[in-house]
Structure 1
Amino acid sequence: MTEKKEEKGEKPAVGRQRAVILNFWWSLNYGAILTAYALQRELEKLGVDNRLVNFLHEWCREPFKNSFSEKFAERYLKVTPPFESVADLVELNRTADVFIVGSDQVFRLSYNVGYEFYYYLPFVDADKKKIACAASFGASELEGTIADRELVRCYLSGFDAVSVRETDGLRLCGEELRRSDAALILDPVFWPAPGEWETLIRNADDGEKDFGLTYVLDQNKETDAVAAAAEHRFAVGKVIDMGNAQKDGEITLSPEQWLYNIKNCRYMVTDSFHGACFAIIFNKPFICVANRERGISRFESLFDMLGLSSRLVKNGETLDGRADLFETIDYAAVNQKLAAEVARSRRWMAEALQKPKAPQSFESEMTAFMMQRLSLAGCRIRSLEERTEEMGRMMIKAGLLRPYRVRYWRNRLLAALTFGKMRKKYKAKSKECRQKIDCLKKVLKGGK
């Protein structure tokens, strides 16, 4: 991917800063890549020179090649050179002033298995600014073990500004993560004026109009029933099914065409959060089937905020007595609420960028150091293919030591965060891991 030349933007509002953004822009998902596009453009309006971090999770590296996500990124996004591992990301500290994570479910641990709390920015130096922008935990409760939650609390304490996009996330920040200063803001796809999306839509094929539209990620009997009811009620001649980009690797629909279809449909049925977002942006009649496995809190938070709770069908709910699903949406009222929330969200981001970095205590610096060491110890070992025999031997040794190094730094960090019996427990475990590491090193050295 090549970096684009900078466009002339609006007058900088926060002064020149260099930022990198970490989110799911690469994940073969329309909402994810359009969220990244929107946030990058809005930061440019604030005068912030920014790049999306080009670090793909391993499961996505092959599917990403020649996908609609890669083609969109090459045409519209500014990205960093590619990174192969978490260890490589430490280099970003040399060029970036600000690290921004979000939006989307970046704080959901089950979505990032094997990447050592990557989106909590453990590889970032203590003197760099960290901002969570409309981040999501993806669930009403924190995932992971008690130790995982302690680490999340520790990582989040190092952020200079935290915002989430769901009320459940706001509650978790206040009640469990000691971030009562967290703010609730809108997903960045809402930040551009609706007309700004025309820049992309103009690059789509000029197709049909006045059709029904479905965009369902997890098709089942409930979604089929809602789609059939909507087709009957609106009496359209044709229904376009946009399918599921996450499951169908051969899908050819571009993000531009995806936007075109939503803007020009007569109504939309979806179980996608961002599908519902763009139906709202383009003022379309829509029905949303709650997708509990992917996270229902985000739907409820957004719809409650905008007075659209009647558009949601929850799991197991029948359509009997749900005439409200087909009532005309008062978009004049919705747009008024939306405009106020957009202004507040933009203002939050500008203030987060303007806010000076707080001085770091020695304890904070030491905690950041241990978090970084844990991250580096846990980074994935690259493939041994096409490497020299000597490099192969070095990496095999690293692979043998890696589990113990991860446990050592994890237990050492937990010992610093806990008290009493728990602290003694983690100190003992850390000491045990250190002994095993030393023993393994001796064995490996003798086997050279």
Structure 2
Amino acid sequence: MKRIGILTFQRAINYGAALQMYALQKKIRDLGANAEIIDFICPYIFDGYKPFHLRNIIHPRALMGDILNFSIRKSRNKHFHDFIRDNMRFSQPVDTESLSILSDAYDIYITGSDQVWNPLITGSESAYFLDFVKDKNKRRSYAASFGVSEWPPSSLPVTKLLESMDSISVREEAGKKLIQSLTSRTASVTVDVDPVFLLEKNSWLSMIRKDRTKKPYLFIYLVGGGNPDDMYRTASKLAQEQHLDIINLRYNRSLRHKEYEIGNVVYDAGPDDFVSFIANASCVVTNSFHATAFSIIFHKDMYVSMPDKVGSRISNLFSITGIEGRVIGKPFKEIDWEKTDQKIMEARQVSISHLKKIIGE
């Protein structure tokens, strides 16, 4: 049985990051390989998920936010850690200095999915390009994302790193174009679906918790960017018109915008709660790629605000699934779910075929 090492944002307290990691490892294991997550501790990324930051002592407003949100961050972190412990298989913990210990540990190394090639997130950490792997033929990616349309000149030079990859799979067409602009690469670069679409709906249903709410509800989830005022106005209007309660998933209590804390506010949900909230909702209001993705998987009416700078991810998803008219502020169209499911199935089959080649099956 082949041993596959996956390098991704394995400790991120982020719903999309955790769920795409779960899906990619599960699908590779379903294909008959022994997949393991490389437990790479990158301080640039993971310091941001600590419940309290000493650097904020000199910033009064940030310090107040840390104090106000300490208990909910600690509780949410525990829920994430429990989910990861119960569902994932990890290597020994390694950092930048000790990562070379794992340079020959696997038959194939895969970086991705998620924005593992976004220098603004990783701090230009070269490990996410698998430079620590001795054998270049073992360096591969699946649905890796840059999260930027142009490579910042001040960031890590990546031309040679990309050209040293044995095979490259990205998540968006924009990523493929960026690679072509940065390299003289002639080998194919495939564009594949986010790992959450590698699993069929029934696989996700096993994760769903029974709906404990007494009334039908609207689920709202906001990440950075987009237009929060429009989103919360839309959610309030829809809930009133359709006689729905509101479940409002937020990362932090707000010092400034109490008007955003509408409905039943939840701060410390785990990844399985996130999937369950969407699966059990009557409709979803969001600017999140993965909340949109799971709304599609579970056939939910969605009202989407395009986030600043990274809205192309959702636009690309709508293009793949043939969905139109679900953006807040634009004419609304009903979704032909039968057509959408067919498109997802076709895209899934193509991407699983690519994944089989990546792991050498």
TM-score (norm 2): 0.82
- Does 1:185 pair with 2:196? no
- Does the 8 A contact of 1:289 with 1:312 survive in 2? yes
1:302 matched residue in structure 2:
317
Structure-2 change in CA distance of 1:68 and 1:179 (3 Å): farther
Checking the alignment, whether the CA contact within 8 Å between 1:99 and 1:128 is kept in structure 2 is no
Query: Residue 42 of structure 2 corresponds to which residue in structure 1?
Result: 57
Of structures 1 and 2, the one with the larger relative CO (CA 8 A, separation 6+) is 2
Partner of 1:154: 160
Stretches of structure 1 that go unaligned for 5 or more consecutive residues are: 1-15, 314-318, 356-448
Q: Deviations over 1:400-429 (max 9, x none)?
A: xxxxxxxxxxxxxxxxxxxxxxxxxxxxxx
Rounded Cα–Cα distance in structure 2 between residues aligned with 1:60 and 1:40: 25
Residue from 226, 231, 236 that aligns with 2:239: 231
Question: What SS class does the counterpart of residue 99 from structure 1 fall into?
Answer: strand
Residue 218 of structure 2 corresponds to which residue in structure 1?
212
SS in 1 for 2:168: strand
Task: Give the alignment partner of residue 204 of structure 2, picking from 194, 197, 206.
Answer: 197
Task: Give the one of 250, 255, 272 matched to 1:243.
Answer: 250
Candidates 210, 217, 221, aligned match of 2:229: 221
Correspondent of 1:261 among 277, 289, 300? 277
* Residue type of the alignment partner of 1:159: M
Q: Distance in 1 between matches of 2:281 and 2:356?
A: 35
Residue 84 of structure 2 corresponds to residue 73 of structure 1: yes
State whether residues 100 and 130 of structure 1, in contact with CA within 8 Å, keep that contact through their aligned partners in structure 2: yes
In 1, the alpha carbon distance for the partners of 2:235 and 2:172 equals: 27
Structure 1 residues 277-426: aligned runs within 5 Å:
277-293=293-309, 295-313=310-328, 319=329, 322-324=330-332, 327-354=333-360
Q: Partners of 1:61 and 1:138 in 2: how far apart?
A: 20
Unmatched tracts of structure 2, length 5 or more: 52-72, 256-265
- Offset of residue 54 of structure 1: 1.3
* Superposition map of 1:79-98 within 5 A: 79-83=90-94, 85-98=95-108
Q: What one-letter code is carried by the residue in structure 2 that aligns with 1:78?
A: R
How far did residue 264 of structure 1 move?
1.1
CA change 1:164–1:273 in 2 (3 A) is same
How far apart, CA to CA, are the structure 1 residues paired with 2:253 and 2:178?
29
| Alpha-carbon distance in structure 1 between the residues aligned to 2:183 and 2:240 | 47
The CA RMSD measured in Å over matched residues stands at: 2.4
Residue in 2 that maps onto 1:142: 151
> Equivalents in 2 of 1:88, 1:246: separation in Å?
38
CA distance change for structure 1 residues 205 and 54 in 2, over 3 Å: closer, same or farther? farther
- Judging changes above 3 Å, is the alpha-carbon distance between structure 1 residues 247 and 79 closer, same or farther for their aligned structure 2 residues? farther
Q: Of 173, 179, 192, which aligns to 1:173?
A: 179
Does the 8 Å CA contact 2:249/2:267 hold for their aligned counterparts?
A: no
Q: How many pairs does the alignment contain?
A: 322
How far apart are the structure 1 equivalents of 2:271 and 2:253? 13
Q: Distance in 2 between matches of 1:246 and 1:28?
A: 16
For 1:135 and 1:209, locate their aligned partners in 2 and report how far apart those are by CA, in whole Å: 39
1:50–1:161 CA distance, 2 compared to 1 (3 A): same
Cα deviation 1:263-314 (Å, max 9, x = unaligned): 1111100011101000001011101111114x1221111111212242234x
2:114 and 2:293 mapped to 1: Cα distance? 13
- Residue of structure 1 in register with 2:135 after alignment: 126
